[in-house]
Amino acid sequence: MNKIEIRTVSVVQYISPLREGGSLPAIVKADDGFLYVLKFRGAGQGKKALIAEFIGGELARAMGLKVPELVFMNLDDSFSKTEPDEEIQDLLKFSVGLNLGLHYLSGSITFDPLVSKVDAITASKIVVLDSLISNIDRTAKNTNLLQWNNELWVIDNGASFYFHHNWKEWKNHLNRTFPFIKDHVLLPQASKLEEAASEIQQLITTDKIVEIIANIPEDWLIDEADDLSTTEIREAYIAFINAKFDMITLLVKEAEDAR
């Protein structure tokens, strides 16, 4: 089993905002010479969106899906001082510190379900992934999938794990299924859900889940509004993911019925 190694880089150039996303991510250059899509800690859903993006992305990668490399990105306070756009200036100011970057797939295009074809096992794996992580944002309106080099790439998992926006209620989500799967963009092409679930169960061990959660930066877990300690929050994410894996047969049936 491959060990997760997340690199940390520093932003050296702010290139342009990506205005398609509500959270105003940006294309930036890092000190390793590569371009990244930077997700800001100061955006609407804050650090919780970065956590969801990180966990969802690394689970997808462990399942054998294509995911751009995720890196931790240091942003210093110099960029807000030279930014003329007030909205972006505020975003940069509130995002000083550690953010999340996705390797920029230059030349990629947004997946279009009416034009692009995807094989049944890949479609099924992504549907099962999104059921497990309760991702409400992979619909025909907003696919959050890219076509690059004739392959399908999974991006933008930030709307997953929505239970973590209210820690007082998190245990109430442990036994819930995911009815929103009926709106999933790949559901019509996901004809191998049971096979995909079986493969995922072999690939994702409890150790892998623990390892992914252990790699979440401590700083992202600290929130004045939360009553739980960072250790308790890590344990809650592990408990949630394990609970979903325990009910994977039920989630698959729900998706199958929705098809």
Which token pair is 256?
A: 């199958």
List the beta bridge partners of residue 11.
30
Cα distances (Å, whole numbers) of residue 122 to 74, 91, 117, 190: 33, 35, 11, 8
Please report the pLDDT score of residue 108 as a whole number: 92
> By the 8 A CB rule, do 28 and 101 touch?
yes
Which token pair is 5?
A: 């190694």
In DSSP notation, 104-149 reads --TT-EE--TTT----HHHHHHHHHHHHHTT----BSS---EEEET
Helices (H) then strands (E): counts for the chain: 9, 8
Q: In what order do the strands lie in the sheet with 109-110?
A: 109-110, 145-148, 151-154
What is the domain partition of the chain in residue ranges?
Answer: 8-103, 109-258
Residues 57-114: tens digit of each pLDDT: 999 999 999 999 999 999 999 887 777 778 888 889 999 999 999 999 999 999 998 8
Please report the pLDDT score of residue 82 as a whole number: 76
Residues of the chain with pLDDT under 50: none
Please report the pLDDT score of residue 132 as a whole number: 98
pTM, 2 dp: 0.95
Please report the pLDDT score of residue 145 as a whole number: 95
